[in-house]
Structure formats: C-alpha cells, structure tokens
Amino acid sequence: MSRDDPYAHAALVAERVVREHDITALKVDPIALANKLGIEVVAKPASSGGVSGMLIRFENQFGIAYATHIDNPGFRGFSIAHELGHYFLPGHIDAVFADGNIHESRPGFNSADKYEIEADHFAAWLLMPDALFSSALRRAGEGLAAVEQLAAICETSLTATAIWYAQCSHDPVAIIVSTGQRIDYCFMSKTLTEFKGLDWIRKNYPLPGGSPTHVLSAQPDSIRRADRNDGTSNLQDWFGGPLSIEISEDAIGLGSYGKTLTVLYGIELPDENEPEEDEGLIIESWTPRFRR
C-alpha cells in the first residue's frame, strides 16, 4: 500500500489505534471501539438527506449519530469509523467544531473537504487494517468475487472494499465506479499505475463500448437489482496505450445508488524489467566468474 500518498498520516493514526486497542482479527467493530472510548453511538432518523453521520460534542463528552436512510451495515460501520477519524486525527476536533458542537459528515471519497477525505481514509484503514486485510486478500482470490468476500469479512461496503482491494493488491488490477455510461472514478493498483504507456482514466470518460460494464449500465433496472455481468474486455479499450490484451472484467450494479462497480483483473503485463534474451546473454558473458 502506498505510504507516499497525502493521507498516509491518517493511515498511521489508524494503525496506532488498531495496535493500542488490540484489534487482531477482522471484522473491526467501530461501535465497540467507540463505546470503549466512552462515546455513545445512536441511530439517527433520515431527516437531513445526504448526511451519513454526525459527531456531537457536549463539553468534554462526544457522541456519534449514524444515518439510517441507507440500511446497510457497511455504510453504517464506515460512517461511524469516519466520525472516529475526526475524534482521533490531530486538528480535526478544532476544525469540525469551528462553527458549533455538531459536525455533519457527507460520504464519499470524492468530497472536496480535506478533513472529510482524511476521515474517510482513516475509516478505511481502521476497518481494513493493512496486515489483516492483506492476509485476507491473499486468500480471497481475484476479481469481484474477492471484493465480495473481503466486504463480507470486513463488513464494509462493496465500493470501499473495492477501492482498498485496488490499493492493496500486488497484481495489476483496477476498479471503476460509473454512473450511466460515464466514469466517476478509477483506482489502479501500484503495479498497474507503474506500467508505462497507460492513460489515466478521467472523470466523465465514456465507458468502452461493448464492455461488460457498458452492456450492464445500459439497463437501469439491472443496476437497481444489483445484477452483474462478468466477461472479458481489452486493456487498450480502458487505458489506451500500446498493449492490446484480453483482460477479465466483472461489473455489478450498486442498487439504489444508480452506479456500477467494475473490477478489471487477470491483466498479464509483460515484465518491463526483464532484459531481452540477447541482452541477457551479453551480460552473462561479461560477468566475471569469480565464484567458479
């Protein structure tokens, strides 16, 4: 996982919390952690739309309220973990309570607010700690099936788990979230990012025509029913570049969100560091054989 990202600090804080609170197995229970800290966690009726959770301060006491308009344990857990992020991350308490004693959070990795993004990263690291998630990932296989299995183990949303799968995987993989026929965002694994010649997928790019995701996204009812469409597509159709190879593509509708999640995997990249065969022979013949 990338330590040089701008939110690495959130990772370090989450790792410290995991260590100090003896969290040694998945799933991580953010309500139990909050209660251990003396923070009461309550459900909040769906009065203000778009709010996923709230951190409330009363003198030196804190409380967390989570939204119930999306009835999903993954959404609930992430919302609570996000509020714990504001509690643990340096500078957050002053920032989020600058205008009063109630902070309202809105979900999503694409929020523009620095503190919201940092709390989201903390939440992901808390619920999917590096060592525990990576060892579960090694057993989970690949593609959407792996993401689903990890989401069930961590009790995290499919989207958050997919993003973490792409961040942690040592294989060349990518995950894409789209709305209709347009791409919202894409996360690529380190191996895929470092492969030369690929284009970055940008917001609002159209989905590649005829890809399993494109076919699925053309049917809004299928998206609502969380149908899936697994198949193959071409690396070039997604990322441009010089390499025309068949890859595996799994797509699933994200239900009421009207969005589609895509997992690209089974991408067999040529080894860029591998010397040409002739070059190898030259190097071999020029290496002094001191040990022979």
How far is the C-alpha of 126 from the C-alpha of 116, rounded, in Å?
Answer: 15
Which of 83/250 has CB closer to Zn ion?
A: 83
The token duo for 212 is 């399993």
The piece of 43-51, 114-122, 257-265, 278-286 that touches Zn ion (CB under 5 A) is: 114-122
The piece of 27-35, 57-65, 109-117, 209-217 that touches Zn ion (CB under 5 A) is: 109-117
Which of 87/133 has CB closer to Zn ion?
A: 87
Q: Residue 184, Cβ neighbours under 10 Å: how many?
A: 17
Picking from 274, 275, 276, 266, the residue whose alpha carbon sits closest to that of residue 192 is 266
Which of 84/151 has CB closer to Zn ion?
A: 84
| Shortest CB 83 distance to Zn ion, Å | 7
Name the residue whose CB lies closest to Zn ion.
105
Which of 159/260 has CB closer to Zn ion?
A: 159
Within 8 A by CB and 6+ apart from 70, the residues are 52, 256
Q: How many residues bind Zn ion (CB under 5 A)?
A: 3
Picking from 146, 152, 184, the residue whose alpha carbon sits closest to that of residue 168 is 146
Burial class from Cβ neighbours inside 10 Å (0-12, 13-18, 19+) for residue 173 reads: buried
Which of 78/239 has CB closer to Zn ion?
A: 78
The piece of 1-9, 100-108, 247-255, 258-266 that touches Zn ion (CB under 5 A) is: 100-108
Q: Does residue number 105 form part of the binding site for Zn ion (CB under 5 A)?
A: yes
Start-to-end C-alpha separation, the chain: 41
Binding-site ranges for Zn ion (CB under 5 A): 105, 116, 119
